[in-house]
Amino acid sequence: MNSNTKGNFLQGRFFGLIGIILLLVAPLPMPTYQQHILVLVLFYAYCASCWNIVCGFVGTLSLGHAVFLGLGAYISTVLLQQLSLSPWIGMFVGAIITCIFGVIIGYPCFRLSGPYFALTTIALGELLRIWVENNEYLFGVYIGGSRGLLLEQTGYQPVAFEFNGKIPYYYVMLVFLAVILYVTYRIKNSKIGYYLVAIRSDPDAAESLGVPLARYKLIAMAISCFMMAFAGTFYAQFFRYIGPTRIFGHALSVQIALIALIGGQGTVFGPLFGSLLLVPVTEFLSEHFGGELPGLNLFIYGVVTMLVVFYMPKGIHDYIVRFFSWLERLIGISKKPEKQKA
């Protein structure tokens, strides 16, 4: 192995290892509230990664992706309350049903482009929210209506996805995040990923070269919806309550999309970087300004978002990667490959 190859091999490994160690031990010395924030960071990073599979790679803009999170949450919760089915099993049932629903919805919606697709996703979320709010029963099964569904605290039951502290939820979400990052990495470096990038760059040119646009868009949609449903089950078990206003609401979908866009859409770690930036800022502003000056936290959050979008239109991913690459070269872990002489 020559020096250049060795440098490329080592590049990113050192700080990647440090990052993994920090993720594993970070919540242990922290108080409960800070552990809660860390869980939210991982949760939103996971959701943004699911959004990224279909929107970041394909290039469409979905502002109603929380619908699939909500479906997964409601299905697993109803199965738990009505049939006493463990959420660990119910989450897969919800994922399969959500995946089928996403493909059915995606087939006609992917024929739209530009703002029309985004408006359609918004409308879909609003339709489901209004429908659930005005119906307490679905085929004789209680779904709560506008009051939502409350999960009773029964104690420490890992089989029922219920823990008595934040740390177990943190590590469960960390495993979920590792899985979605691995899936994203495999997609990005596979034929599917290359086709999706081609579709995002120039759909007409990709179609003229024989790339079946509808098929690969639906494949991305199916994977995204399937994984997003898992987040819904986690949401229900972590907060012990689900309601249509929040879980089908427009605000949650926009928040997920912003995290991915600011972090860097179409990248593997962009959603994680976006969540690390925006979620703590959101919680800090809500805690310090949400009660005394209502609306100021949202204003400051909006300003931070605008600054990032204005000065970093492709997200913060590339800047973070460049910084750590520079830092590695600075401390001598890896070195910049030399240019080959003519």
pLDDT digits 0-9 by tens, 124-179: 989 999 999 999 998 888 998 999 999 988 778 888 899 988 999 999 999 999 99
Stretch 235-262: mean pLDDT, rounded?
90
pLDDT of residue 290: 63
Q: Rounded to the nearest 5 degrees, what angle is found at the Cα of 256, between the Cα atoms of 253 and 258?
A: 105
Is residue 275 within 8 Å of 44, Cβ to Cβ?
yes
Among 63, 66, 65, 87, residue whose Cα is nearest residue 75: 87
Residue 14: pLDDT band (50, 70, 90) is low
The pairing of strands 141-142 and 137-138 is antiparallel
The count of other CB atoms within 10 Å of the CB of residue 225 is: 29
| 309-338 tens-digit pLDDT | 778 777 888 888 888 777 777 776 555 555
Amino acid at 179: V
The DSSP symbol for 147 reads G
Stretch 67-89: mean pLDDT, rounded?
94
Stretch 261-266: mean pLDDT, rounded?
88
Percent of the chain with pLDDT over 90: 42
Residue 8: pLDDT band (50, 70, 90) is very low
Backbone angles phi, psi at 162, to 5 degrees: -130, 125
Among 278, 244, 266, residue whose Cα is nearest residue 45: 278
Lowest mean pLDDT among 105-109, 214-218, 295-299: 295-299
Q: Extract the tokens encoding 172.
A: 């469960």
Among 246, 248, 76, residue whose Cα is nearest residue 162: 76
Give how far the C-alpha of residue 199 lies from the chain's centroid of Cα atoms, to the nearest Å: 22
105 vs 98, 102, 123, CA distance in Å? 10, 5, 12
pLDDT of residue 9: 36
The pairing of strands 149-150 and 141-142 is unpaired
State how far the Cα of 84 lies from the Cα of 159, in Å rounded to an integer: 11
147 vs 79, 135, 249, 252, CA distance in Å? 18, 10, 14, 18
Among 50, 37, 67, residue whose Cα is nearest residue 252: 67
pLDDT of residue 139: 85
Q: Which residues of 228-264 are buried (b: 16+ CB within 10 A; e: fewer)?
A: bbbbbbbbbbbeebbbbebbbbeebbebbbbbbbbbb
Residue 341: pLDDT band (50, 70, 90) is very low
Q: Does 271 score more than 80 pLDDT? A: yes
Stretch 100-128: mean pLDDT, rounded?
87
pLDDT of residue 232: 95
Backbone angles phi, psi at 261, to 5 degrees: -65, -45
The count of other CB atoms within 10 Å of the CB of residue 180 is: 26
pLDDT of residue 294: 67
State how far the Cα of 43 lies from the Cα of 47, in Å rounded to an integer: 6
Q: Rounded to the nearest 5 degrees, what angle is found at the Cα of 68, between the Cα atoms of 197 and 82?
A: 150
State how far the Cα of 65 lies from the Cα of 229, in Å rounded to an integer: 10
Percent of the chain with pLDDT over 70: 89
State how far the Cα of 269 lies from the Cα of 132, in Å rounded to an integer: 34
Classify residue 42 as exposed, middle or buried by CB count within 10 Å of its CB (0-12, 13-18, 19+): buried
Give how far the C-alpha of residue 55 lies from the chain's centroid of Cα atoms, to the nearest Å: 11
pLDDT of residue 306: 79
